[in-house]
Amino acid sequence: MRVLMFGWEFPPHIAGGLGTACYGMTRGLARNGVDVTFVMPHASGDEDERFVDIVNASDVETVFGNVDSDSEDIISKMSFIHIDSNLVPYLSPEDYETYHDEFVKTGEKRWETKDVWSQRYTFSGKYGANLLEEIARYAIVAAQVAKNLEGQFDVIHAHDWLTYFAGIAAKRVSGKPLVVHMHATEFDRSGENINTQTYAIERAGMHAADRVIAVSNLTRNIVINRYGVPAEKVVAVHNAVRFTDKGEPWPERGVDDKIVTFLGRITFQKGPDYFVEAAAKVLKRCPNVRFVMAGSGDMLNHVIRRVARLGIADRFHFTGFLRGADVDKMFQLSDVFVMPSVSEPFGIAPLEAMRSNVPVIISKQSGVAEVLDYAVKVDYWDVDAMADAIYGLVNYPALSKMFAEKGLEEVTSLKWNHASAKIKKVYEDAINECNK
């Protein structure tokens, strides 16, 4: 089986869990006999291609035919909407404009003849203010990629709303079935104050798809109830975690204090403010604890100010965004990991912490809570319960050891090979239905 997959990021250059999931998934699919061609807006050339073929959309030349007919129609209907994305602007509008002026405008190819012209788009592959412009261009390139690879794939797989238009375009060109993967809905990112344009893209992508994969039953229910997608079309496949063979020595700790870690985007969705409030309660009872907040996001300044007002700044450490080996080191240095997400479709970070033998506290409002028994589960808003759980795990070694050991055993069974086998079955169902 051959899959044409559209993503937005791939390790080692990632901004969150989406890239990590794509990497584990493609490795698992390869071990299940599935060949994957992975298209991304901007590839750096240092991606791991042992299990996947990477296509850099910035290198694809899009050819348009007769300017007086089809291409003229395309141009007249295209419009670029500039918005401030509800996703964290990992690239600021100012940085994006600088990037755009330096690399994009100077690199664009103009039409070459009167009747036929070609265009090569240079994507940033970031999450900036002109994100919808990149999504629209990505869809155009996706159609060209599907033409170039005609007869070389059996199914299309598009990850999250950023690539749904690309998946739809490839489906229209090739006639192949489309599977879209919902890693996080607009309701997860923004609560009830959703961006209607983002919601419209998500809804259009899922209704155009032959199958929808949700990362949890929690997400599946949102897809069905909030987007009106037929239940029989939506399949829940939980994420997994990848175990590495590297025998890296564990880093040495420079402090004797217990370390409690939050690792994730510092945004409304991830509940960093609840972590801070719980930390303040713990420190009133147990001063020999340090709290680490690893990540970046639009709530960072708010959180820093709140830490200062609570008078616990000397017990708090902000590392900024971590990736790769630094993430593993942070987990290895931790005594407790906390994920207090307000709405978490799945949540790979707790699995990565458990893989490092760290006991975890997770919110009941997370998809990963569906597959974990040996994690302490609390409501994200219940900072008293969260503080009690942290206090118990840092002060009672037997309790901490039990959750760490049982958690490691549990997470060992959550492998990408198993999740990918379920995804392959989704592909087969979509292909069979398309061939009826």
Backbone dihedral region for residue 157 (phi beyond 0: left; psi -120 to 50: alpha; all else: beta): beta
Instruction: Say which amino acid occupies 180.
Output: V
Alpha helices in 250-321 (DSSP H): 272-285, 300-309
Q: Which residues contact residue 238 at a Cβ distance below 8 angstroms, ignoring those fewer than 6 apart?
A: 215, 216, 346, 367, 368, 370, 371, 414, 419
Q: Give me the residues paired with residue 260 across strands.
A: 291, 336
- What stretch of H or E contains 391? helix 383-395
- As separate numbers, helices (DSSP H) first and strands (DSSP E) second, the chain gives 15, 15
Domain covering 2-240+417-434, topology: Rossmann fold (3.40.50)
pTM (predicted TM-score): 0.83
Asked if residues 201 and 353 have their Cβ atoms less than 8 Å apart, the reply is no
For the chain, 436 residues long, give each residue's pLDDT as a single digit of tens: 999 999 988 988 877 788 889 999 999 999 999 999 999 988 888 888 999 999 999 888 876 544 334 444 444 444 444 433 333 333 344 444 554 455 444 444 433 333 444 567 767 656 555 778 888 889 989 999 999 999 999 999 999 999 999 999 999 999 999 999 999 999 998 888 899 999 999 999 999 999 999 999 999 999 999 999 999 999 999 999 987 655 566 777 878 899 999 999 999 999 999 999 999 999 999 999 999 999 999 999 999 999 999 999 999 999 999 988 899 999 999 999 999 999 999 999 999 999 999 999 999 999 999 999 999 999 999 999 999 999 999 999 999 999 999 999 999 999 999 999 999 999 999 999 988 7
Q: Give residue 379's identity as a one-letter amino acid code.
A: D
Are 2-240+417-434 and 258-412 the same fold in CATH?
A: yes
Pairwise CA distance, residues 331 & 320, whole Å: 15
Map out the domains of the chain as residue ranges: 2-240+417-434, 258-412
| CA of residue 319 relative to chain centroid, distance | 20
Alpha-carbon distances, residue 41 vs 51, 58, 134, 137, 255 (angstroms): 19, 6, 8, 10, 42
Q: Give the orientation angle of helix 196-208 with respect to helix 164-174, to 10 degrees.
A: 30
The pLDDT of residue 74 is: 40
Tell which residue, 327, 328, 305, has the closest CA to residue 316: 305
- The residue whose two tokens read 């998946």 is 167
State the DSSP string of 265-276: --SGGG-HHHHH
Domain 258-412 has CATH 3.40.50.360: no
Report the pLDDT value the prediction gives residue 245, as an integer from 0 to 100.
58
Place of tokens 């295209």: 78
Cβ atoms of 9 and 15 closer than 8 Å = yes
Phi, psi of 12 (to 5 degrees): -90, 0
H or E element in which residue 262 lies? strand 258-263
